[in-house]
């Protein structure tokens, strides 16, 4: 059973979605008198959205770029937060649309958690933004790439050949 976010009592009947001092809350019918407005909770996903999520979860058919070379862009948190705010979505609505927990999306938006490539693809699809780039585009070297500077071994080999 749901509990009133204002008084803590068990909600009997349907909950009321109201705004109290600028915060969206789910309250009982008694605490509605403290609200300054109402809000509509996000709708449950339709079967079409569930199918879309399944399609997004499938591995890509074009394997021309190995996943090891793909990285999440460094400014991912700013891009996600600004786009969500521009769309006027509350955090819980974005979390619902990408299929993640609200706390996880909050950590991703604050930069405390880097999304996996799979999660980044979900954010890209829902928000229509680009969060994934190749390692060279992001300025991050991939594992095993050779540094472009001379080493002592290069110099010794060069001197031996002459």
pTM: 0.46
| Band of residue 142 on the pLDDT scale cut at 50, 70, 90 | very low
Provide, rounded to the nearest whole percent, the portion of the chain with pLDDT above 90.
Answer: 46
- Assess contact for 123 and 95: CB atoms under 8 A: no
- Report residue 70's pLDDT band, with 50, 70 and 90 as the boundaries: confident
Confidence of residue 46 (pLDDT cuts 50, 70, 90): low
**Rounded-to-integer distance, Cα 13 and Cα 2, Å:** 10
Domains of the chain listed by start with CATH number: 1-41 (no CATH), 47-138 (1.10.260.40)
| pLDDT over 70 (residue 162) | no
> Phi-psi category of 144—alpha, beta or left, where left has phi over 0 and alpha has psi -120 to 50?
left
């Amino acid at each position: 059973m749901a509990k009133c976010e204002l008084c803590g009592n068990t909600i009997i009947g349907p909950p009321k979605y109201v705004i109290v001092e600028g915060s969206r809350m789910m309250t009982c019918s008694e605490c509605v008198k403290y609200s300054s407005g109402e809000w509509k909770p996000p709708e449950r996903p339709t079967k079409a959205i569930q199918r879309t999520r399944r399609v997004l979860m499938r591995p890509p058919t074009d394997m021309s770029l190995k996943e090891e070379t793909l990285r999440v862009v460094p400014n991912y948190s700013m891009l996600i937060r600004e786009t969500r705010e521009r769309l006027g979505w509350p955090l819980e609505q974005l979390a619902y649309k990408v299929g993640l927990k609200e706390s996880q999306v909050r950590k991703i938006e604050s930069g405390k958690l880097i999304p996996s490539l799979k999660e980044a693809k979900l954010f890209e699809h829902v928000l229509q933004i680009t969060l994934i780039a190749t390692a060279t585009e992001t300025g991050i070297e991939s594992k095993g790439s050779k540094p472009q500077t001379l080493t002592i071994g290069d110099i010794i080999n060069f001197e031996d050949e002459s």
